[in-house]
Amino acid sequence: MRYHVAIIGAGPAGLTAGYELVKRGVLPIVLEKANLVGGISRTETYKGYRFDIGGHRFFTKVPQVQQFWYEILQDEFIQVPRLSRIYYQGKFYSYPLSLFNALSNLGAVNSVLILLSYLKAKIRDKLNLTPEPETFEDWVIGCFGERLYRIFFKTYTEKVWGIPCNKIQADWAAQRIQGMSLKRAVLNAVFGSQNAKSLIKEFDYPVLGPGMMWERCKELIEQQGGTVQLDTSITRIERQGNRIKSITAQQGDQTTQIFADHFISSMPITALLNCLDPLPPPEVLQAARGLKYRDFLIVALVVKREHLFPDNWIYIHSPEFKVGRIQNFKNWSMAMVPDPSKTCLGMEYFCSEGDELWQKSDAELIEIATQEAISLKLGIQPGDVEDGVVIRQHKAYPVYDGEYRQHLQVIQDYLSTFENLQTVGRNGMHRYNNQDHSMLTAMLAVQNILGEKHDLWAVNTERSYHEEFTKEQWTTAKQQLAESQVAV
Ligand SMILES: Cc1cc2nc3c(=O)[nH]c(=O)nc-3n(C[C@H](O)[C@H](O)[C@H](O)COP(=O)(O)OP(=O)(O)OC[C@H]3O[C@@H](n4cnc5c(N)ncnc54)[C@H](O)[C@@H]3O)c2cc1C
């Protein structure tokens, strides 16, 4: 088989590349090892209950991405009001913080201690007593003070990553919580957030979940003459010097060799390197072995209750619970639940393949999730959970540990020597990207094939990613998108 462009993976990045190509008259093949599209942004279905691999909000500051989303789904987005809280030591804290709720939960003494520890951090900073933060712990303590760090950041972050906060690079904090400060959080809590910038209070969501976006995208690629082939795993990537000649695709017992002029890969970068034939030099393979991932599993519970709690999701900071976050998919979209008298909760567990939690049977996991849901005072009584299902997600998170940057640099230098291979997306570049930045790298890869010159590694996930958008920016972006709807 010969194509102009072959794309590995039908997650957001791979399908974005496919769609951008067919729009420009180039007919690619997209090869996906799973039996459904969407990658980590897929929507799973169990007995009519739909749920995400973690709730997926559609939020971006990249206009091309927003336009892409509207082009694909048009009016099938709903606007979902955001409500999320933090559960810590038996109490629910509004998130973003509400001053009175936080004060009444923490109590006067604790609140004063938090303020003092914050002032201590700020004074140390002013006197230049704090060295440049290297770890997540340094970064957060520098911004918020030690007490607040212990209550609102340490336990949850350690659940997510499975490593102590002083082993996580400051990059991650800078990327995810940049621009937030206690001062601003308190000002927002007292005066509301309209004075400057605001945390988004509403987000877009496809009425049937994110998988809907990617299923539709696949249909559109196929309608325009492109190919999206599921259940097909790339097992070998044949190279001649610094050119990829072909890839070997395995579908059941059948093996096909696919030749192309250009290759775009969104499969995990470590797996890609190990598929190269001949293999890359030993130092590159060594670097690939150094990159780590965090895995994830979700236990979806069907609960015989029409309403449980109003939040879209709740963060569970208390270390005595294994669950890290709880989604209420009905509060994302009513259409996610086939029976309106029931609720579907997504109990999210952060884990690593092979660890104690990962190895538990599905029945054991459903039992743990059920017991935790009951103990968390969410209004669930014993006997309310009527069914459950477990979905395991490998490589949900690329880990930013102390060594990842130097390993990635070795790999990046090696891959940049290839003439016709581009890696895109989240695991494709080992970047903690959301859909939008994963998609943006794919858009730029297509533009490169069409003769432009973009450095995909420069797609800057570090630039202010936190969910802040001035009201004017938000309105202008929406207006621009409404005006620029392009019919496919
Ligand atoms: C818990 C959680 C919550 C998230 N929440 C949000 C959110 O609210 N908003 C948001 O925008 N983003 C969110 N994200 C991030 C989002 O899921 C990713 O950014 C996005 O899915 C990355 O797209 P991708 O195409 O790069 O990779 P993936 O989604 O990983 O897709 C890669 C595809 O490649 C396929 N593949 C792998 N190996 C092979 C092979 N050998 N051969 C063929 N195919 C292969 C995989 O099966 C997969 O389908 C979240 C992620 C997680 C884990």
Whether the CB-CB separation of 122 and 154 falls below 8 Å is answered with no
Among residues 355, 380, 398, which one ends one of the domains? Answer: 398
CATH of the domain at 370: 3.90.660.20
Q: For 187-191, 288-292, 331-335, 374-378, which range has the lowest pLDDT when averaged over its residues?
A: 187-191
Among residues 380, 398, 416, which one ends one of the domains? Answer: 398
For residue 82, tell me if it sits in a domain. Answer: no
Average pLDDT over residues 449-471: 68
283 and 420 inside one domain: yes
> Please, which pLDDT band fits residue 183 given cuts at 50, 70 and 90?
low
pLDDT of residue 174: 62
300 and 247 inside one domain: no
> Please, which pLDDT band fits residue 140 given cuts at 50, 70 and 90?
confident
Summarize pLDDT for 373-424 with one digit per residue, the tens.
999 989 999 999 999 999 999 999 998 888 899 999 999 999 999 999 999 9
> Please, which pLDDT band fits residue 177 given cuts at 50, 70 and 90?
low
> Please, which pLDDT band fits residue 461 given cuts at 50, 70 and 90?
low
166 and 312 inside one domain: no
Average pLDDT over residues 205-227: 98
For residue 53, tell me if it sits in a domain. Answer: no
For residue 78, tell me if it sits in a domain. Answer: no
- Secondary structure of 208-277 in HEC code, one letter for each residue: CCHHHHHHHHHHHHHHCCCEEECCCEEEEEEEECCEEEEEEEEECCEEEEEEEEEEEECCCHHHHHHHEE
Please tell me if the CB atom of residue 425 comes closer than 6 angstroms to any atom of ligand 1: yes
> Please, which pLDDT band fits residue 63 given cuts at 50, 70 and 90?
very high
- pLDDT(2) > 80: yes
pLDDT of residue 369: 98
123 and 148 inside one domain: yes
Q: Read off φ and ψ for residue 7, nearest 5 degrees.
A: -120, 130
Report CA(234)–ligand 1 centroid distance (Å): 17
Report CA(38)–ligand 1 centroid distance (Å): 7
- pLDDT(95) > 80: no
For residue 486, tell me if it sits in a domain. Answer: no
CATH of the domain at 33: 3.50.50.60
> Please, which pLDDT band fits residue 457 given cuts at 50, 70 and 90?
very high
Summarize pLDDT for 17-54 with one digit per residue, the tens.
999 999 999 999 999 999 999 999 999 999 999 999 99
Please tell me if the CB atom of residue 8 comes closer than 6 angstroms to any atom of ligand 1: yes
Summarize pLDDT for 142-170 with one digit per residue, the tens.
888 898 888 888 888 889 888 888 888 77
pLDDT higher at 166 or 480: 166
Instruction: For residue 126, give every residue at least 6 positions away whose Cβ sits within 8 Å of its Cβ, in sequence order, or none.
Output: none
- pLDDT(99) > 80: no
Among residues 156, 191, 226, which one ends one of the domains? Answer: 191
376 and 335 inside one domain: yes
175 and 243 inside one domain: no
For residue 138, tell me if it sits in a domain. Answer: yes
Please tell me if the CB atom of residue 10 comes closer than 6 angstroms to any atom of ligand 1: yes
The pick from 156, 213, 266, 349 for probing ligand 1's pocket by mutation, whose C-beta has the most ligand atoms within 8 angstroms, reads 266
For residue 86, tell me if it sits in a domain. Answer: no
**What percentage of residues in the chain have a pLDDT greater than 70?**
87
- pLDDT(115) > 70: yes
238 and 386 inside one domain: no
Average pLDDT over residues 55-79: 94
pLDDT of residue 277: 98
Please tell me if the CB atom of residue 435 comes closer than 6 angstroms to any atom of ligand 1: yes
Question: What mean pLDDT is reported for the chain?
Answer: 88
Please tell me if the CB atom of residue 60 comes closer than 6 angstroms to any atom of ligand 1: no
For residue 351, tell me if it sits in a domain. Answer: yes
Q: Domain count of the chain?
A: 3
Report CA(39)–ligand 1 centroid distance (Å): 4
- pLDDT(262) > 90: yes
Q: Which atom of ligand 1 is nearest to the CA of 57?
A: 8
312 and 432 inside one domain: no
For residue 241, tell me if it sits in a domain. Answer: yes
pLDDT of residue 469: 40
368 and 303 inside one domain: yes
- pLDDT(125) > 70: yes
- pLDDT(193) > 60: no
Q: For 223-227, 295-299, 406-410, 455-459, which range has the lowest pLDDT when averaged over its residues?
A: 455-459
315 and 355 inside one domain: yes
pLDDT of residue 482: 38
| Domain hosting residue 179, numbered range | 98-191
Q: What is the pTM of this model?
A: 0.88
104 and 171 inside one domain: yes
265 and 283 inside one domain: yes
